[in-house]
Amino acid sequence: MSSEETTRCQISNDFTATILVKRDILPVKEQAQALIRHGLNETLPFQDFSPKQKIIIELGELVARASYKDMLVLSSVFNGSFERLKHSFENSLIPKISHSPGKQPFNFQKVFCTAEHLSFWFLDDSQGVALPMLRLELSSVKVESHFGDNLSSTFTLNVDYFNQKIYGWEPFIEPWKVKHINLIWKSDYLHLGLKSDPNSPLDINITQTLIQQVKQFHAKWIVHKRDLDRDFRNYCIRSRADHLPYLLKNESGSSLLFTTDVEEISKARLSKRKSNAKWFSVAQDKNCTFEFPIKRLIAKERSNDSRQLIVRVDGWEEISPVDVDSVGTYFRLSKIIGSSSKRDSIRARVVVEVTMDADGKKVVTIRSALLAINQLLEPIILRFSDPAKQNPPVEINLQSGGKLPIPLKLVNYEMDVCPFLTSSSVEGQTVDWRIAKLSGEVVNQMLKYKIALKEKYYWMCLSIKRENYPEYESLSGHTIIFVPPMSLTNLLPVEIEFTVETDIKQSYRIGAGKRFQLASVNLNNPIYLSFRTEIFKTKQPVMINRSQYVDRTIQDDKRIPFPMIDGNNRELDMYGSVYISRGGSLQISLW
């Protein structure tokens, strides 16, 4: 018993139960009916006038949580205890009291049970932790049973399933009031009667999330049950957590500290004393696994009893507590340490992103609210300059296809961008994300770079989107996407050679089913396209002007014909779906 805290698994909450044994006195009417039934001169059966008792049970609010493994443990404990108790009675030294033949000390006839609220949770502990799966709740319960004859009851039933993504309960069966349920059993038949309240329909909710979770549980249930049935004792050597371990990913660009002991910090501040909370350190671009204390099992859920974090990024003040139970994106404001006054303080928005991996583990990502995505074929160089000229410039290389949360310490710097070309150096162009001020607003721009050695130009489109954060125009809350000005997708089963002519004439090849991106096209001028295959070629170049497709999106693309002809003057129509994509770039799909 010295290791009770490390081995115990709480099955139920602390609840009250009142059990009364009372004499069951028949009403005068029923006694008279018995006399009439048997006759006044006949001797009544002995059991009709022997004392009878009834059991009255009143239960307080009860919450019981158990998994299949818990059922096996309880069954083993009870069976073993009853066997030992039976053996001790048989070998007891205490003399046994002999009763009169045919007379029992108790003659129980009825059982009455009432309960205001009963809750039964079914848990999934196949991953080593006890995760809620299903909850059955009964309220206003009244049960009456005659031993060996029948059972009748009235109650209100509802069933919920646990949505692991939002970390909360969602209804499966809405509250359903059962007016009367009657169960009668005999040796040769069983009768069940049920009557619900006319004003309480049976509503069943089946959602996609429920179906997915049922499939996931069923996939691992067979193996888990087989292992438990084989030897469940090896799986019962320690207590279980009520949640999977969390994973914290530090993408803030600096080291950070975090704590789960939010309650201790709040109490320390109220009493103006030093906090005893334990802080955990996570280096830049590193991950850390952590857990919360196991929640105490209570009869009713408390809305404020949530799992929260407090995060402190190096060089910045700690943010207010963040709830990480539910999947979602949360934000907090932070102020740089060392500001002389509130007016001159440098603030930034910290994003806390909670996601769920394939195993159901919650992943908490700490980053800034400024995100850069490179969809160009070439890497780009992001250069950050301190407006106050107190710190040296910082350069970050963002690879093709990469996504970068801008370091928190750089979000208030001035940003320049240029493509990283090995053949020559290119001067950077300014990117000002503050021009997108309204929530959900998207601003498209096109940047032009001169390649000195080749006397050519490199074009880049960028999309600046103001995310749906509260209206703080001076604070970052944007996603910046860098894209090539033009992309062609070949949906034909053959390779295509195409020629594009704007300021200069260029020819390229696209394989079947491939996509080609072009960064040397000036979309401000008309573009002339011509195509050629092994057999066919376009009759003449087709002009495309981006200004004609400004309002065309992928849902509203425009079909353009490209008439083609072979060596025998046989015609073939090829088409292109043209629309405007991110950053104002031009997208063409050939088919």
Residue 123 Cα distances to 66, 120, 126, 187, 431, angstroms: 6, 10, 9, 36, 52
Has residue 220 been placed in a domain?
no
Start-end of H helices in 338-495? none
- Tracing tokens 């059922």 back to the chain, one arrives at 71
Q: What dihedral angle (degrees, nearest 10) is formed by the CA atoms of 166, 172, 178, 182?
A: -120
The C-alpha atoms of residue 124 and residue 242 are separated, in whole angstroms, by 10
Give the mean model confidence (pLDDT) for residues 234-255: 77
pLDDT at 146 over 60: yes
Give how many domains the chain has, as a whole number: 4
pLDDT at 89 over 70: yes
11 and 132 belong to one structural domain? yes
Tell me if 437 sits within 8 A of 466, measured CB to CB. yes
Q: What's at 43, amino acid-wise?
A: T
The whole domain housing 457 covers 370-483
Instruction: Please give the pLDDT value at position 148.
Output: 64
Whether the per-residue pLDDT at 189 is higher than 70: the answer is yes
CB 397 within 8 A of CB 428: no
441 with 525, same domain: the answer is no
pLDDT score recorded for residue 154: 92
Residue 29 has pLDDT above 70, yes or no: no
Asked if residue 174 lies in contact with residue 158, where contact means CB atoms within 8 angstroms, the answer is yes
456 and 522 belong to one structural domain = no
Structural domain ending residue among the three candidates 211, 238, 266: 211
Does residue 205 share a domain with residue 71?
A: yes
Query: What are the counts of helices (DSSP H) followed by strands (DSSP E) for the chain?
Result: 6, 36
Least confident among 20-24, 88-92, 408-412: 88-92
In one-letter notation, the amino acid at residue 73 is V
> 339 and 354: one domain?
yes
HEC sequence for 210-267: HHHHHHHHHHHHHHHHHHHHHCCHHHCCCCCCCCCCEEEEEECCCCEEEECCHHHHHH
256-259 and 308-313 beta bridge pairing = antiparallel
Would you say residue 576 lies in a domain?
Answer: yes
pTM exceeding 0.85: no
80 with 185, same domain: the answer is yes
- 506-526: buried (b, 16+ CB within 10 Å) or exposed (e) per residue? eeeebeeeeebbbbbbbbeee
Which region, left, alpha or beta, applies to residue 350 given φ > 0 means left and ψ of -120 to 50 means alpha? beta
DSSP string, 81-95: HHHHHHHHHHT--SP
State which amino acid sits at residue 106: F
Instruction: Answer whether residue 292 is part of any domain.
Output: yes
**Is 225 inside a domain boundary?**
no
300 plus 440 within the same structural domain: no
Beta bridge partners of 547: none
When mean pLDDT is compared over 289-303, 335-349, 520-534, the highest value belongs to 520-534
Q: Using CA atoms, how far apart are residues 577 and 401, in angstroms rounded to an integer?
A: 25
Say what the pLDDT of residue 110 is. Answer: 84
Most confident of 127-131, 296-300, 530-534: 530-534
**Domain contains 334:** yes
Q: Is residue 98 part of a domain?
A: no
The yes-or-no verdict on residue 353 having pLDDT over 90 is: yes
Instruction: Out of 483, 506, 521, pick the residue that ends a domain.
Output: 483
Confidence of residue 1 (pLDDT cuts 50, 70, 90): very low
Q: Please check whether residues 292 and 182 belong to one and the same domain.
A: no
Rounded to an integer, what distance in angstroms lies between the CA atom of residue 322 and that of residue 307?
Answer: 8
Q: Are residues 28 and 69 in the same domain?
A: yes
Q: State yes or no: pLDDT of 423 exceeds 90.
A: no
Per-residue b or e along 310-322, where b marks 16 or more CB atoms closer than 10 Å to that residue's CB: bbbbbebebbebb
- Are residues 336 and 104 in contact, defined by beta-carbon separation less than 8 angstroms? no
Same domain, 173 and 277: no
Q: Which has the closest alpha carbon to 465: 434, 431, 436, 432?
A: 436
Q: Which of 271-275, 332-336, 345-349, 549-553 is predicted least confidently?
A: 549-553
Do 115 and 194 have their domain in common?
Answer: yes
Output the six-digit token pair for 42.
Answer: 């006949």
Q: Say if strands 442-451 and 542-544 run parallel, antiparallel, or are unpaired.
A: unpaired
The answer to whether the CB of 155 falls within 8 A of the CB of 139 is yes
**Assigned domain for 27 exists:** yes
Q: Per the domain annotation, does 229 fall within a domain? A: no
**Do 334 and 316 form a contact (C-beta atoms < 8 A)?**
yes
524 and 585 belong to one structural domain: yes
Mean pLDDT calculated for residue range 402-416: 94
Q: What residue type is 169 in one-letter code?
A: W
Q: What is the reported pLDDT for 46?
A: 47
Flag whether pLDDT at 96 surpasses 70.
no
Residue 14, pLDDT > 90, answer no
Per-residue model confidence (pLDDT) at position 190: 81
Find out whether 144 and 111 touch, Cβ atoms under 8 Å. yes
236 has a pLDDT exceeding 50: yes
**Where among 451, 483, 515 does a domain terminate?**
483
The mean pLDDT of 388-405, rounded to a whole number, is 92
Q: Is the model's pLDDT at 220 over the cut of 90?
A: no
